[in-house]
Amino acid sequence: MIVALIDSGLGLLPTGAWLRKLRPDLDLLLQLDPDGAPWGPKPERWVIDRVLDAARRSLRLGAEAVVLPCNTASVTALEQVRAEVGPEVPVIGTVPAIKPAAAACASVAVWATAATTASRYQADLIARFGGEADVTGVACHGLADAIDRGDLAAVEHAIARAAEQTPAGTEAVVLGCTHYPLVLDSIVAALPSGVRLFDSAEAVAGQTLRRIDALGRPTAGTGTVTVYNSGRAGELPASAAAFESGRVLGAVDTACPTV
């Protein structure tokens, strides 16, 4: 059983690492798109075509399930990918954890990219799942890009800016970009003590395992991690080794600082 994960950059690492921890023998196909990253500001049709190309490549390489651990890919191309691959191939998308955060806390901040924060998609999610909670969007300018570069100084600066914009008294922060769990410790350190963090990586990994188990096929593999960068066989970028999730998935760069 090969499970493909598709994202423009390192946002697929947290979900991939959870899959590795929960099912170490599962074979993973990581499809990044450094040539086209970031996807957020790109036109919708462009993103759809890019994600569909990666999904088709995944099937050619033997994938039996496709995960979109990326909010942009999920909101833009999830239904198109499902139509492309057919009902026999599970396709699992990602949704920011607004619903559980709003159910547990009275005041919630959703940290996301500038494009997602300004999107109708996030506004609709807040309207649907925010309940009685006071939910505020916080644009984390440059954070995802800094994570992709492994630029830890820029990461800390972007987190500090986002923390300053987060309303006083906020009880929970939803990590609305799949890159952000990679710097969880830095985010915790920048927020007041007691603020709860919610992200979707573990839940997406769990849903993926449930969906592939429901297929009734053998899932045991050799624990292989295969990487494609914009359609080219390769390796995880050196910046992935700055993060625990990247190291769990085999990224190695002794010159890269860690967080």
Q: Kindly list the catalytic residues.
A: 70, 177
C-alpha 227, offset from chain centre: 16
Query: How is residue 13 written in tokens?
Result: 């690492």
Q: DSSP of 47-103, one letter per residue?
A: HHHHHHHHHHHHHHTTEEEEE---HHHHHHHHHHHHHHH-TTS-EE----THHHHHH
Closest alpha carbon to 148 in 108, 103, 178: 178
Query: How is residue 15 written in tokens?
Result: 């979900």
Q: How far apart are CA 219 and CA 45, in angstroms?
A: 34
Q: How far apart are CA 150 and CA 13, in angstroms?
A: 13
Question: Please, which residues have CB within 8 angstroms of residue 228's CB and are 6 or more apart in sequence?
Answer: 29, 30, 31, 32, 54, 57, 61, 234
- Please give the span between the terminal C-alpha atoms of the chain, in angstroms, as a whole number: 32
Q: How far apart are CA 95 and CA 19, in angstroms?
A: 17
Element at 162 (helix H, strand E): helix 152-165
